[in-house]
Amino acid sequence: MTQQNATETVQAWLSHFDNALKSGDIARVTALFADECYWRDFLAFTWNLKTCEGREEIHAMLKATLAHTQPTDWQLEGEATQNEAICEGWVTFKTAVASGKGYLRLKDGKCWTLLTTMQALNDFPEPRNHQRPKGAEHGANKQRETWQEGRAREEAELGYTRQPYCVVIGGGQGGIGLGARLKQMGIPTIIIERNPRAGDSWRNRYKSLCLHDPVWYDHLPYIPFPENWPVFAPKDKLGDWLEMYTKVMELNYWSSTECQGAHYDEAAGEWVVKVNRDGEEITLRPQQLVMATGMSGMPNVPSFPGAESFEGEQQHSSQHPGPDAYKGKKCVIIGSNNSAHDIAAALWEHDADVTMVQRSSTHIVKSDSLMEEVLGPLYSEQAVENGLTHDKADLLFASIPYKVLPDFQRPAFDAVRKRDAAFYQKLEDAGFLLDFGDDDSGLFLKYLRRGSGYYIDVGACDLVASGDIKLRSGVGIERINPHSITLSDGSELEADLIVYATGYGSMNGWAARLISQEVADKVGKCWGLGSDTTKDPGPWEGELRNMWKPTQQQALWFHGGNLHQSRHYSHYLALQLKARMEGLETPVYGLQPVHHTA
């Protein structure tokens, strides 16, 4: 099929789709979908992040949402393309309250996948481009207030004489990016951060830390990294960028502030949030509360018999200061994922005696292979040269329903496995336990399902393969002794330092700590898809649990993930909060039931 024919095919489908929706004939709408079909919606129809799988689910969704959504004006944006049996293209549309954008894939003339996303509220455009503020006030005015005076007044009032509409707990990359979205949408917001400076959540990590994701994947909203920014940003450089960003985006950022507790006042329809701001006790009463404490925010520290008797140092990877003090020391790393490898390599470089204890198999992918075989088509210099901005790439990735994402990912990781066969053989010869996920779908699915179980190799694997980093694999920890660790096979490891690179717990652990266990259980586990794979128990849920969307606790939201996710999904979370602040009707369809409380 030629590109012209593909365009005509998609345009014809959209015309039928538009007419069927306008007439309210849901049976005609669903007849346009294939036997296997998926409709992923971000707010436009459902005021939720929701994937409908199959005609029956699509029918039920439209029956509940079509009357208030009033979708119209479905248009193909640009030309459609043909990819084997699939015609695909970008679409735009309108609803009663918003403009939308999406991506459509047709298989044999019927819809296989459809993404619909809300992009902007009609009556509340962001002040950007044609809507940008003037800045200067021309003319004469005896009551003139300068920009600086206005900022100072806002900072003095908000949280004291005027309550914020939203409080964001956590001022790391997620809270800062979301804060920028909320600021641009005119939502009075305070970001609470316990560290003294924005960016400290990165600065405080072990000194060798760099991002493993490339720059094209990691831009923040509104201000992309400059063209000379390194591909993999060092932690302190990123910390400085976040601090600059917080200032330039004029965020109301309360550093050196700790949330001491919060509860929801049902009668008043607001949260009561008690904070300590640099020694001052303050009570905030926002209508919306966002937990942006980080998907990797609550350290998971295992409890091993005898740990209290250990006479050396014990620390979670999040507390590890770096390798400088451990030259000549016997260091044991419990874990074999990203932090474990990074810390082990840095300790080896500083002449420590390092042993990694690998209790279960790990997915390894070399950084160059990940960039070229997996990320490159969407996030790379070549992608940018081909006209694929990071915003377009975000939508293109989102257009793949999670149910079929393994099928999209498997060929790329098969190519990685073939390309790096000799590398993997060396690791296995050293005794390292490897996997590519339960279904061989690779890194991203492991990340989405469990947020752990992988390492993007930037050099540490060669040290493991050569024996420079010693390896004990397939064993557990029997007990901790004053100067050693006894493993489950009865062997013993001498240790001066134990680093628990054992990951993090679910974000609702922060809700338990700051609000109550009852609320934490009410909203349930954050993250995971219900894939019924390792550490992601079923049933299938189709979207990430509780992230960036309404939860079972009114006015409580969770925001986190990597820089790509924080950038993309902060847009939809901000739209949901803006709509509520302005009093728009936001009937949520498909609020997820809770299957797992932790």
Q: Where are the alpha helices (H) located in 185-312, listed in sequence order?
A: 200-203, 235-248
Domain match, 343 and 285 both: no
> Which residue in 354, 361, 363, 305 sits closest to 333, CA to CA?
354
Domain match, 482 and 558 both: no
* Residue 127 domain-assigned (yes or no): no
pTM: 0.96
Domain match, 313 and 178 both: no
Q: Measure the CA–CA gap between 536 and 534, rounded to whole angstroms.
A: 5
pLDDT tens for residues 276-293?
A: 999 999 999 999 999 999
Return the pLDDT at 255.
Answer: 98
C-beta of residue 49 within 8 angstroms of C-beta of residue 572:
yes
* Residue 355 domain-assigned (yes or no): yes
Domain match, 193 and 52 both: no
**Residues of the chain with pLDDT > 90: what percent?**
94
* Residue 37 domain-assigned (yes or no): yes
CATH number, residue 578:
3.50.50.60
Of 454, 481, 500, the residue that ends a domain is 500
Domain match, 348 and 480 both: yes
Return the pLDDT at 55.
Answer: 98
* Residue 38 domain-assigned (yes or no): yes
**pLDDT class for 70, splitting at 50, 70, 90?**
very high
Distances (CA, A) of 586 to 271, 526, 555: 20, 22, 13
- Concatenate the DSSP letters of all residues of 475-511 into one string: --EEEE-SSEEEETTS-EEE-SEEEE---EE-THHHH
Domain match, 384 and 404 both: yes
Domain match, 160 and 84 both: no
* Residue 168 domain-assigned (yes or no): yes
Q: Measure the CA–CA gap between 579 and 101, rounded to whole angstroms.
A: 18
Strand partners, 454: 363
CATH number, residue 108:
3.10.450.50
pLDDT tens for residues 307-344?
A: 999 999 999 998 999 999 999 999 999 999 999 999 99
Domain match, 317 and 451 both: yes
Return the pLDDT at 294.
Answer: 79
**pLDDT class for 209, splitting at 50, 70, 90?**
confident
Report, as an integer, the average pLDDT of 195-200: 96
* Residue 329 domain-assigned (yes or no): yes
Of 500, 529, 561, the residue that ends a domain is 500
Report, as an integer, the average pLDDT of 62-91: 96
* Residue 587 domain-assigned (yes or no): no
**pLDDT class for 298, splitting at 50, 70, 90?**
confident
Strand 288-291 to strand 166-169: parallel, antiparallel, or no bridges (unpaired)? parallel
Report, as an integer, the average pLDDT of 197-210: 91
**pLDDT class for 393, splitting at 50, 70, 90?**
very high
Sole residue written with tokens 């000549």: 328
**pLDDT class for 598, splitting at 50, 70, 90?**
confident
The domain containing residue 314 runs over which residues? 307-500
Of 500, 530, 558, the residue that ends a domain is 500
Return the pLDDT at 205.
Answer: 86
Domain match, 177 and 84 both: no
Q: Measure the CA–CA gap between 544 and 550, rounded to whole angstroms.
A: 12
Say whether pLDDT at 296 is over 70: no
Tally of domains in the chain: 3
* Residue 134 domain-assigned (yes or no): no
Domain match, 520 and 381 both: no
Return the pLDDT at 1.
Answer: 53
**pLDDT class for 504, splitting at 50, 70, 90?**
confident
Domain match, 286 and 223 both: yes
Domain match, 254 and 316 both: no
Q: Measure the CA–CA gap between 202 and 224, rounded to whole angstroms.
A: 19
Q: Measure the CA–CA gap between 209 and 433, rounded to whole angstroms.
A: 24
Phi then psi for residue 446, to 5 deg, are -60, -45
